[in-house]
Amino acid sequence: MKQSFFGLLKKIIQTGIGKGRLLMATTGLGIAMLLLLLSIQMHTDFDQLLYNQQNQNESVDFLVINKKITNDMMGQSDKSVFTPQEIADIKKQPFTAAFGFITANQYKVTAAAPGDLHFYTEMFFEAVPDTFIDVKSEDWKWQAGDNTIPIILPNDFLNLYNFGYALSQGLPQISQETIKALPMKITISKGLLTQEFTGRIVGFSDRITSFLVPGSFMEWANGKFGNGVEIAPSRVIIKTKDPSNPVLVKYLEDKGYSTNQDKLKYSKTKVIVQTIVSVIGFFGLILLIFALLVFSMFIQVVIASCKREIQLLVTLGTAPRQLQRYLMRQFVPLYIFTTIISLLFITLLQWKAAAILANMKLSVSSWISPATGGAALLVMVLVYIVNLQSVKRYINEIS
Protein backbone atom coordinates (compact mmCIF):
# COMPACT_ATOMS: atom_id res chain seq x y z
CA MET A 1 0.00 0.00 0.00
CA LYS A 2 2.77 2.38 1.00
CA GLN A 3 4.72 1.58 -2.14
CA SER A 4 1.66 2.21 -4.31
CA PHE A 5 0.95 5.47 -2.49
CA PHE A 6 4.53 6.66 -2.88
CA GLY A 7 4.37 5.71 -6.53
CA LEU A 8 1.14 7.66 -6.93
CA LEU A 9 2.55 10.62 -5.05
CA LYS A 10 5.65 10.63 -7.26
CA LYS A 11 3.45 10.51 -10.35
CA ILE A 12 1.42 13.48 -9.12
CA ILE A 13 4.57 15.47 -8.53
CA GLN A 14 5.68 14.78 -12.06
CA THR A 15 2.41 15.81 -13.72
CA GLY A 16 2.38 18.70 -16.16
CA ILE A 17 1.29 21.36 -13.67
CA GLY A 18 3.64 20.06 -11.03
CA LYS A 19 6.58 20.01 -13.43
CA GLY A 20 5.89 23.56 -14.54
CA ARG A 21 5.75 24.88 -10.99
CA LEU A 22 8.73 22.82 -9.99
CA LEU A 23 10.72 24.07 -12.98
CA MET A 24 9.74 27.67 -12.20
CA ALA A 25 10.69 27.30 -8.55
CA THR A 26 13.99 25.61 -9.37
CA THR A 27 14.84 28.21 -12.00
CA GLY A 28 14.02 31.04 -9.60
CA LEU A 29 16.11 29.42 -6.90
CA GLY A 30 18.99 28.95 -9.32
CA ILE A 31 18.92 32.58 -10.51
CA ALA A 32 18.59 33.88 -6.95
CA MET A 33 21.52 31.77 -5.81
CA LEU A 34 23.61 32.89 -8.80
CA LEU A 35 22.98 36.57 -8.10
CA LEU A 36 23.73 36.19 -4.40
CA LEU A 37 26.94 34.24 -5.01
CA LEU A 38 27.97 36.62 -7.77
CA SER A 39 27.57 39.67 -5.52
CA ILE A 40 29.60 38.03 -2.75
CA GLN A 41 32.34 36.92 -5.14
CA MET A 42 32.50 40.38 -6.76
CA HIS A 43 32.87 41.97 -3.34
CA THR A 44 35.69 39.56 -2.48
CA ASP A 45 37.46 40.17 -5.80
CA PHE A 46 37.25 43.94 -5.40
CA ASP A 47 38.75 43.68 -1.92
CA GLN A 48 41.59 41.62 -3.36
CA LEU A 49 42.19 44.18 -6.09
CA LEU A 50 42.39 46.98 -3.51
CA TYR A 51 44.19 45.34 -0.62
CA ASN A 52 46.13 42.39 -2.03
CA GLN A 53 49.84 43.10 -1.67
CA GLN A 54 50.38 41.99 -5.27
CA ASN A 55 48.03 44.74 -6.48
CA GLN A 56 48.92 47.52 -4.13
CA ASN A 57 51.12 50.30 -5.34
CA GLU A 58 53.17 51.16 -2.29
CA SER A 59 52.76 54.88 -2.91
CA VAL A 60 48.95 54.87 -2.73
CA ASP A 61 49.07 54.34 1.05
CA PHE A 62 50.59 57.76 1.65
CA LEU A 63 48.86 61.06 1.06
CA VAL A 64 50.46 64.48 1.26
CA ILE A 65 47.73 66.88 2.39
CA ASN A 66 47.61 70.66 2.17
CA LYS A 67 44.91 73.29 2.20
CA LYS A 68 43.41 74.49 -1.06
CA ILE A 69 44.63 77.96 -1.91
CA THR A 70 41.70 80.25 -2.69
CA ASN A 71 41.60 83.86 -3.83
CA ASP A 72 40.74 84.91 -0.28
CA MET A 73 43.88 83.24 1.03
CA MET A 74 46.27 84.84 -1.45
CA GLY A 75 48.86 86.93 0.31
CA GLN A 76 47.92 85.42 3.68
CA SER A 77 50.27 82.50 4.10
CA ASP A 78 49.22 82.02 7.71
CA LYS A 79 45.84 80.74 6.48
CA SER A 80 47.48 77.91 4.54
CA VAL A 81 49.09 76.31 7.59
CA PHE A 82 47.50 73.70 9.82
CA THR A 83 46.47 74.71 13.31
CA PRO A 84 47.09 72.37 16.28
CA GLN A 85 43.34 71.66 16.39
CA GLU A 86 43.26 70.74 12.70
CA ILE A 87 46.30 68.48 13.13
CA ALA A 88 44.73 66.76 16.13
CA ASP A 89 41.53 66.27 14.13
CA ILE A 90 43.39 64.61 11.24
CA LYS A 91 45.31 62.35 13.63
CA LYS A 92 42.15 61.02 15.29
CA GLN A 93 40.36 60.17 12.05
CA PRO A 94 39.79 56.42 11.61
CA PHE A 95 41.46 56.41 8.19
CA THR A 96 44.74 57.82 9.58
CA ALA A 97 47.10 54.93 10.26
CA ALA A 98 50.16 57.18 10.73
CA PHE A 99 50.75 60.93 10.67
CA GLY A 100 53.82 63.03 9.95
CA PHE A 101 54.80 66.66 9.50
CA ILE A 102 56.50 67.98 6.40
CA THR A 103 59.04 70.51 7.64
CA ALA A 104 60.04 73.30 5.26
CA ASN A 105 63.30 75.22 5.20
CA GLN A 106 63.51 78.72 6.67
CA TYR A 107 66.46 79.83 4.56
CA LYS A 108 67.40 80.38 0.94
CA VAL A 109 68.75 77.39 -0.99
CA THR A 110 70.52 77.40 -4.35
CA ALA A 111 71.95 74.48 -6.29
CA ALA A 112 74.55 74.50 -9.04
CA ALA A 113 75.67 71.54 -11.13
CA PRO A 114 79.34 71.04 -11.93
CA GLY A 115 80.97 70.84 -15.35
CA ASP A 116 79.38 71.92 -18.60
CA LEU A 117 75.81 71.43 -17.46
CA HIS A 118 75.53 75.12 -16.55
CA PHE A 119 72.71 74.28 -14.22
CA TYR A 120 71.84 76.71 -11.47
CA THR A 121 68.59 77.09 -9.66
CA GLU A 122 67.00 78.29 -6.52
CA MET A 123 65.23 75.51 -4.71
CA PHE A 124 63.76 74.49 -1.41
CA PHE A 125 64.17 71.63 1.01
CA GLU A 126 61.64 69.71 2.99
CA ALA A 127 61.97 66.92 5.54
CA VAL A 128 59.61 64.13 6.55
CA PRO A 129 60.01 61.32 9.07
CA ASP A 130 62.09 58.50 7.59
CA THR A 131 59.24 56.02 7.99
CA PHE A 132 57.30 57.88 5.29
CA ILE A 133 60.10 57.78 2.72
CA ASP A 134 60.02 55.15 -0.02
CA VAL A 135 63.76 55.42 -0.82
CA LYS A 136 66.00 53.12 1.18
CA SER A 137 69.64 54.19 1.16
CA GLU A 138 72.51 53.75 3.61
CA ASP A 139 73.61 57.27 2.68
CA TRP A 140 70.37 58.74 4.01
CA LYS A 141 71.85 60.20 7.17
CA TRP A 142 73.39 63.45 8.30
CA GLN A 143 74.89 64.80 11.47
CA ALA A 144 76.24 68.16 12.49
CA GLY A 145 79.66 68.75 10.90
CA ASP A 146 78.97 66.76 7.72
CA ASN A 147 79.54 68.81 4.59
CA THR A 148 77.62 66.45 2.33
CA ILE A 149 73.85 66.60 2.28
CA PRO A 150 71.98 63.52 1.03
CA ILE A 151 69.04 64.59 -1.14
CA ILE A 152 66.06 62.70 -2.51
CA LEU A 153 64.54 64.10 -5.68
CA PRO A 154 61.05 63.41 -7.03
CA ASN A 155 61.00 61.28 -10.15
CA ASP A 156 58.67 63.83 -11.71
CA PHE A 157 61.36 66.49 -11.43
CA LEU A 158 63.89 64.41 -13.38
CA ASN A 159 61.27 63.57 -16.01
CA LEU A 160 60.40 67.24 -16.43
CA TYR A 161 64.06 68.09 -16.90
CA ASN A 162 64.84 65.27 -19.33
CA PHE A 163 61.70 65.50 -21.46
CA GLY A 164 60.84 69.16 -21.07
CA TYR A 165 63.59 71.54 -20.11
CA ALA A 166 66.63 69.65 -21.51
CA LEU A 167 65.06 68.98 -24.92
CA SER A 168 63.78 72.52 -25.33
CA GLN A 169 67.07 74.12 -24.27
CA GLY A 170 69.41 71.74 -26.11
CA LEU A 171 70.89 70.41 -22.88
CA PRO A 172 71.94 66.78 -22.35
CA GLN A 173 69.47 64.42 -20.79
CA ILE A 174 70.61 62.82 -17.54
CA SER A 175 70.06 59.30 -16.27
CA GLN A 176 69.40 58.52 -12.62
CA GLU A 177 72.79 56.82 -12.33
CA THR A 178 74.56 59.87 -13.70
CA ILE A 179 72.80 62.40 -11.52
CA LYS A 180 73.56 60.27 -8.46
CA ALA A 181 77.25 60.40 -9.34
CA LEU A 182 77.26 64.17 -9.84
CA PRO A 183 77.99 66.27 -6.75
CA MET A 184 75.95 69.46 -6.55
CA LYS A 185 77.02 72.69 -4.98
CA ILE A 186 74.40 73.60 -2.40
CA THR A 187 74.47 77.08 -0.92
CA ILE A 188 72.40 77.93 2.11
CA SER A 189 72.03 81.51 3.19
CA LYS A 190 70.01 83.82 5.35
CA GLY A 191 70.96 87.46 5.22
CA LEU A 192 74.71 87.73 5.48
CA LEU A 193 75.07 84.19 6.81
CA THR A 194 76.07 81.74 4.06
CA GLN A 195 77.41 78.20 4.00
CA GLU A 196 78.20 75.84 1.16
CA PHE A 197 77.63 72.09 1.08
CA THR A 198 77.98 69.27 -1.38
CA GLY A 199 74.66 67.71 -2.32
CA ARG A 200 74.45 64.02 -3.20
CA ILE A 201 71.35 62.57 -4.80
CA VAL A 202 70.71 59.25 -3.05
CA GLY A 203 67.39 58.34 -4.61
CA PHE A 204 64.24 59.29 -6.46
CA SER A 205 60.84 59.22 -4.84
CA ASP A 206 57.49 58.40 -6.42
CA ARG A 207 55.70 59.06 -3.15
CA ILE A 208 56.64 62.60 -2.15
CA THR A 209 56.99 65.31 -4.77
CA SER A 210 59.57 67.42 -2.99
CA PHE A 211 63.30 67.92 -2.47
CA LEU A 212 63.91 65.94 0.68
CA VAL A 213 66.79 66.17 3.10
CA PRO A 214 67.25 64.27 6.37
CA GLY A 215 65.28 65.56 9.33
CA SER A 216 68.51 65.98 11.33
CA PHE A 217 69.88 68.38 8.71
CA MET A 218 66.61 70.33 8.51
CA GLU A 219 66.50 70.74 12.27
CA TRP A 220 70.12 71.90 12.39
CA ALA A 221 69.80 74.24 9.40
CA ASN A 222 66.55 75.83 10.58
CA GLY A 223 68.14 76.33 13.98
CA LYS A 224 71.17 78.05 12.50
CA PHE A 225 69.71 79.90 9.51
CA GLY A 226 66.09 80.22 10.56
CA ASN A 227 64.40 82.89 12.60
CA GLY A 228 64.24 80.77 15.71
CA VAL A 229 60.43 80.53 15.56
CA GLU A 230 58.79 77.20 14.98
CA ILE A 231 56.55 77.51 11.91
CA ALA A 232 53.31 75.56 11.68
CA PRO A 233 53.32 73.02 8.84
CA SER A 234 51.53 73.84 5.61
CA ARG A 235 51.72 70.24 4.44
CA VAL A 236 51.34 67.00 6.33
CA ILE A 237 51.56 63.37 5.29
CA ILE A 238 49.37 60.50 6.43
CA LYS A 239 49.50 56.79 5.93
CA THR A 240 46.10 55.29 5.26
CA LYS A 241 45.03 51.71 4.74
CA ASP A 242 42.55 52.67 2.05
CA PRO A 243 43.12 55.86 0.03
CA SER A 244 39.87 55.14 -1.81
CA ASN A 245 37.85 55.26 1.40
CA PRO A 246 34.82 57.50 0.67
CA VAL A 247 34.98 58.76 4.27
CA LEU A 248 38.52 60.03 3.63
CA VAL A 249 37.51 61.68 0.37
CA LYS A 250 34.51 63.39 1.99
CA TYR A 251 36.64 64.54 4.92
CA LEU A 252 39.16 66.20 2.60
CA GLU A 253 36.38 67.87 0.62
CA ASP A 254 34.53 69.08 3.72
CA LYS A 255 37.69 70.52 5.25
CA GLY A 256 38.89 72.14 2.04
CA TYR A 257 42.04 70.04 1.95
CA SER A 258 43.81 68.91 -1.19
CA THR A 259 45.95 65.92 -2.05
CA ASN A 260 47.05 63.98 -5.08
CA GLN A 261 43.67 63.31 -6.69
CA ASP A 262 45.13 60.45 -8.70
CA LYS A 263 45.50 58.50 -5.48
CA LEU A 264 41.82 58.99 -4.70
CA LYS A 265 40.56 57.94 -8.10
CA TYR A 266 39.52 54.51 -6.83
CA SER A 267 37.02 56.07 -4.43
CA LYS A 268 34.37 56.70 -7.09
CA THR A 269 35.11 53.34 -8.67
CA LYS A 270 34.70 51.67 -5.29
CA VAL A 271 31.37 53.37 -4.67
CA ILE A 272 30.11 52.34 -8.12
CA VAL A 273 31.23 48.74 -7.66
CA GLN A 274 29.72 48.57 -4.17
CA THR A 275 26.45 49.95 -5.53
CA ILE A 276 26.38 47.39 -8.34
CA VAL A 277 27.22 44.58 -5.92
CA SER A 278 24.51 45.76 -3.50
CA VAL A 279 21.90 45.95 -6.28
CA ILE A 280 22.79 42.47 -7.52
CA GLY A 281 22.65 41.11 -3.97
CA PHE A 282 19.32 42.85 -3.36
CA PHE A 283 17.72 41.34 -6.46
CA GLY A 284 19.20 38.00 -5.46
CA LEU A 285 17.47 38.21 -2.08
CA ILE A 286 14.16 39.23 -3.71
CA LEU A 287 14.37 36.32 -6.14
CA LEU A 288 15.26 33.98 -3.30
CA ILE A 289 12.13 35.04 -1.42
CA PHE A 290 10.00 34.49 -4.54
CA ALA A 291 11.63 31.11 -5.10
CA LEU A 292 10.78 30.09 -1.55
CA LEU A 293 7.17 31.24 -2.06
CA VAL A 294 6.87 29.30 -5.32
CA PHE A 295 8.34 26.21 -3.66
CA SER A 296 5.85 26.61 -0.82
CA MET A 297 2.95 26.91 -3.33
CA PHE A 298 4.24 23.90 -5.21
CA ILE A 299 4.38 21.84 -2.01
CA GLN A 300 0.87 22.95 -1.09
CA VAL A 301 -0.47 21.95 -4.52
CA VAL A 302 1.24 18.56 -4.40
CA ILE A 303 -0.11 17.78 -0.96
CA ALA A 304 -3.60 19.04 -1.84
CA SER A 305 -3.59 16.88 -4.99
CA CYS A 306 -3.11 13.70 -2.97
CA LYS A 307 -5.08 14.76 0.06
CA ARG A 308 -7.35 11.69 0.06
CA GLU A 309 -4.42 9.29 -0.31
CA ILE A 310 -2.57 10.99 2.54
CA GLN A 311 -5.62 10.91 4.81
CA LEU A 312 -6.19 7.26 3.94
CA LEU A 313 -2.57 6.38 4.59
CA VAL A 314 -2.61 8.18 7.93
CA THR A 315 -5.85 6.36 8.84
CA LEU A 316 -4.12 3.06 8.08
CA GLY A 317 -1.32 3.96 10.48
CA THR A 318 1.31 5.76 8.41
CA ALA A 319 3.07 8.43 10.46
CA PRO A 320 2.93 11.97 9.03
CA ARG A 321 6.69 12.17 9.59
CA GLN A 322 7.20 9.38 7.03
CA LEU A 323 5.24 11.38 4.47
CA GLN A 324 7.26 14.48 5.28
CA ARG A 325 10.55 12.65 4.80
CA TYR A 326 9.36 11.22 1.49
CA LEU A 327 8.33 14.59 0.12
CA MET A 328 11.58 16.23 1.23
CA ARG A 329 13.54 13.47 -0.51
CA GLN A 330 11.90 14.63 -3.74
CA PHE A 331 13.19 18.17 -3.25
CA VAL A 332 16.63 17.80 -1.64
CA PRO A 333 18.30 16.54 -4.86
CA LEU A 334 17.00 19.70 -6.56
CA TYR A 335 18.64 21.88 -3.90
CA ILE A 336 21.94 20.04 -4.26
CA PHE A 337 21.77 20.12 -8.07
CA THR A 338 20.96 23.84 -8.14
CA THR A 339 23.77 24.63 -5.68
CA ILE A 340 26.36 22.61 -7.60
CA ILE A 341 25.40 24.16 -10.95
CA SER A 342 25.51 27.66 -9.42
CA LEU A 343 28.93 27.06 -7.86
CA LEU A 344 30.29 25.61 -11.11
CA PHE A 345 29.03 28.62 -13.04
CA ILE A 346 30.54 31.09 -10.54
CA THR A 347 33.80 29.12 -10.55
CA LEU A 348 33.95 29.33 -14.34
CA LEU A 349 33.32 33.08 -14.24
CA GLN A 350 35.96 33.52 -11.53
CA TRP A 351 38.54 31.56 -13.49
CA LYS A 352 37.83 33.64 -16.59
CA ALA A 353 37.93 36.92 -14.65
CA ALA A 354 41.25 35.97 -13.00
CA ALA A 355 42.76 35.24 -16.42
CA ILE A 356 41.56 38.59 -17.85
CA LEU A 357 42.83 40.54 -14.83
CA ALA A 358 46.17 38.71 -14.98
CA ASN A 359 46.68 40.15 -18.46
CA MET A 360 46.19 43.58 -16.86
CA LYS A 361 48.85 42.81 -14.22
CA LEU A 362 46.15 42.51 -11.55
CA SER A 363 45.81 39.51 -9.31
CA VAL A 364 42.74 37.78 -7.92
CA SER A 365 42.31 34.16 -6.96
CA SER A 366 41.26 31.77 -9.72
CA TRP A 367 39.00 30.03 -7.23
CA ILE A 368 35.84 31.21 -5.58
CA SER A 369 36.19 32.55 -2.05
CA PRO A 370 35.24 30.56 1.08
CA ALA A 371 32.54 33.18 1.69
CA THR A 372 30.93 32.32 -1.65
CA GLY A 373 30.99 28.60 -0.89
CA GLY A 374 29.65 29.24 2.62
CA ALA A 375 26.85 31.41 1.22
CA ALA A 376 25.83 28.64 -1.20
CA LEU A 377 25.66 26.16 1.67
CA LEU A 378 23.71 28.64 3.78
CA VAL A 379 21.14 29.25 1.04
CA MET A 380 20.71 25.52 0.51
CA VAL A 381 20.14 24.97 4.25
CA LEU A 382 17.73 27.91 4.38
CA VAL A 383 15.68 26.57 1.48
CA TYR A 384 15.61 23.12 3.09
CA ILE A 385 14.41 24.48 6.45
CA VAL A 386 11.71 26.69 4.89
CA ASN A 387 10.38 23.89 2.68
CA LEU A 388 10.50 21.38 5.53
CA GLN A 389 8.36 23.72 7.60
CA SER A 390 5.92 24.05 4.68
CA VAL A 391 5.68 20.28 4.28
CA LYS A 392 5.11 19.81 8.01
CA ARG A 393 2.39 22.46 8.10
CA TYR A 394 0.42 21.15 5.08
CA ILE A 395 0.74 17.49 6.09
CA ASN A 396 -0.46 18.27 9.61
CA GLU A 397 -3.39 20.29 8.24
CA ILE A 398 -4.87 17.41 6.26
CA SER A 399 -3.84 14.44 8.42
Q: What is the pLDDT of residues 273-321, one digit of tens each?
A: 777 778 877 877 887 787 777 777 777 777 777 777 677 777 777 777 8
Residues 115 and 181 in one domain: yes
Q: Which whole number is the average pLDDT over 69-96?
A: 85
d(Cα 41, Cα 354) in Å, to the nearest integer? Answer: 12
Residues 180 and 228 in one domain: yes
Q: Is 258 a member of any domain?
A: no
Q: Is 175 a member of any domain?
A: yes
DSSP letter string, 169-195: HTPPP--HHHHHHS-EEEEEEETTEEE
Question: What's the confidence (pLDDT) of residue 56?
Answer: 53
Residues 85 and 214 in one domain: yes
Residues 42 and 173 in one domain: no
Residues 68 and 208 in one domain: yes
Q: How many domains does the chain have?
A: 2
Q: Is 14 a member of any domain?
A: yes
Q: Is 248 a member of any domain?
A: no
Amino acid type, 184: M
Residues 152 and 180 in one domain: yes
d(Cα 240, Cα 98) in Å, to the nearest integer? Answer: 7
How many helices (H) does the chain have, and how many strands (E)? 12, 11
- DSSP letter (8 states) at residue 161: I
Residues 222 and 332 in one domain: no
Residues 39 and 181 in one domain: no
- DSSP letter (8 states) at residue 80: G
pTM of the model: 0.57
Answer whether 398's CB lies under 8 Å from 310's CB.
yes
Q: Is 38 a member of any domain?
A: yes
Residues 98 and 125 in one domain: yes
d(Cα 390, Cα 396) in Å, to the nearest integer? Answer: 10
Answer whether 60's CB lies under 8 Å from 270's CB.
no
Answer whether 143's CB lies under 8 Å from 216's CB.
yes
Q: What is the pLDDT of residues 230-286, one digit of tens each?
A: 788 888 999 887 777 778 888 988 888 888 766 666 666 667 777 777 887 787 788
Q: Binning pLDDT at 50, 70 and 90, where does residue 58 land?
A: very low
Q: Is 166 a member of any domain?
A: yes
Residue range of the domain that includes 291? 1-55+268-397
Task: Please tell me which residue, 267 or 109, carries the higher pLDDT value.
Answer: 109
Residues 112 and 160 in one domain: yes
pLDDT at 387 over 70: yes
* Burial environment of residue 33 by CB neighbours within 10 A (0 to 12, 13 to 18, 19 or more): buried
Q: Is 37 a member of any domain?
A: yes
Residues 392 and 291 in one domain: yes
Answer whether 263's CB lies under 8 Å from 60's CB.
yes
Q: Is 5 a member of any domain?
A: yes
Residues 289 and 382 in one domain: yes
Question: What's the confidence (pLDDT) of residue 16?
Answer: 43
Question: What's the confidence (pLDDT) of residue 53?
Answer: 58
pLDDT at 127 over 90: yes
